[in-house]
């Protein structure tokens, strides 16, 4: 409360009706929007995000089946197993790279020639896959994957062209947001034991919701800075109950768990 108001209240004992009116007004009148309690989540537009700048996340890939991905090497895209149909030759996927605006005339568009789905993927856990592009792309930074759990905590960046609200449309412009780590025990409780803790890592504002990945962001990376200040991929967008709902964090494939398998698969695909 501002000082002059306090002073007025202290000196206003001579005007009891005026004091009563002010106190009543404080209870009856709605508070102006800016005076409402502070919200820890950033503003509206991924859910609860903002538009990414051109070149900010050069490794972001949009896949034509409606998923995201991250550039792992000049011709391999790391995505989610649930975004692809299985392992084998596949020329049916188009990757769009190098732009935040999917309709930009500078977009790089490359077809796939092979898909590698995590062996043993059955709809639960192991939600990762590699898509090999028919041509190497140049001039775009790749996103290194985390090989240990050292970065599996803290604040993560999420990004994608998916819905900005549950059941909302896909986006033309790349969105970004940040979400805090949620530990396995808390996340497993939230999902009544459906988490596979070794395979999955959770993130989100548990009590308030409001910021999350959503449909169409799947396969895209969740990433943070490593000890050298470089981006490193710690998660792959996998699933959640709705989007950005309080009590339900986003669930991501835990990249550190699969890093060796991803590297081995990448080698078998030619790098």
Q: Among 239, 255, 257, 262, which residue sits at the site for ligand ARG (rule: CB under 6 A)?
A: 239
Taking CB under 6 A as the binding criterion, the range among 24-32, 99-107, 235-243, 253-261 that sits at the site for ligand ARG is: 235-243
Taking CB under 6 A as the binding criterion, the range among 86-94, 96-104, 134-142, 234-242 that sits at the site for ligand ARG is: 234-242
Q: Among 215, 253, 256, 257, which residue sits at the site for ligand ARG (rule: CB under 6 A)?
A: 215
Chain residues 55-84 in contact with ligand ARG, contact rule CB under 6 A: none
Q: Among 110, 214, 236, 269, which residue sits at the site for ligand ARG (rule: CB under 6 A)?
A: 214
Whether residue 74 lies in the annotated active site: no
Give CA–CA dist 24/112, Å, rounded.
67
CA-to-CA dists, residue 232 to 26, 68, 144, angstroms: 50, 16, 5
243 touches ligand ARG by CB under 6 A:
yes
Chain residues 114-173 in contact with ligand ARG, contact rule CB under 6 A: 162
209 touches ligand ARG by CB under 6 A:
no
221 touches ligand ARG by CB under 6 A:
no
216 touches ligand ARG by CB under 6 A:
yes
240 touches ligand ARG by CB under 6 A:
yes
Chain centroid offset of residue 13 CA: 56
Contact 119, 106 (CB under 8 A): no
Which one of 218, 238, 253, 256 is the catalytic residue? 218
Whether residue 192 lies in the annotated active site: no
Query: Smallest gap, in angstroms, from Cβ of residue 237 to ligand ARG?
Result: 5
Give CA–CA dist 83/103, Å, rounded.
22
Whichever of 205 and 231 has its CB closer to ligand ARG, that residue is 205
Whether residue 82 lies in the annotated active site: yes
Question: Which chain residues interact with ligand ARG by CB under 6 A?
Answer: 162, 212-218, 237, 239-240, 243, 250
Active site residues: 82, 127, 218
């Amino acid at each position: 409360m501002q000082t002059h108001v306090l002073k007025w209240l202290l000196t206003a004992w001579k005007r009891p009706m005026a004091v009563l009116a002010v106190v009543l007004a404080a209870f009856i009148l709605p508070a102006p929007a800016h005076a409402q309690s502070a919200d820890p989540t950033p503003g509206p537009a991924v859910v609860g995000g903002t538009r990414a700048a051109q070149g900010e996340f050069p490794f972001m890939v949009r896949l034509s089946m409606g998923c995201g991905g991250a550039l792992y090497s000049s011709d391999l895209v790391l995505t989610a197993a649930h975004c692809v149909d299985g392992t084998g030759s596949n020329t049916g996927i188009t990757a769009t790279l190098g732009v935040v605006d999917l309709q930009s005339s500078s977009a790089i568009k490359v077809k796939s020639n092979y898909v590698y789905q995590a062996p043993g993927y059955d709809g639960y856990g192991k939600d990762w896959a590699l898509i090999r592009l028919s041509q190497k792309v140049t001039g775009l930074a790749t996103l290194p994957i985390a090989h240990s759990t050292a970065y599996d905590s803290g604040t993560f960046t999420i990004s994608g062209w998916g819905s900005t609200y549950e059941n909302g449309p896909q986006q033309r412009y790349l969105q970004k947001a940040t979400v805090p780590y949620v530990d396995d025990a808390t996340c497993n409780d939230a999902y009544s034991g459906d988490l596979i803790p070794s395979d999955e890592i959770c993130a989100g504002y548990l009590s308030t919701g409001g910021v999350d990945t959503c449909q169409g962001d799947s396969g895209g990376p969740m990433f943070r800075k490593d000890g050298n200040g470089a981006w490193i991929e710690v998660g792959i967008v996998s699933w959640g109950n709705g989007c950005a709902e309080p009590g339900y964090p986003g669930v991501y494939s835990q990249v550190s768990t699969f890093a060796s398998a991803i590297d081995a698969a990448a080698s078998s695909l030619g790098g």
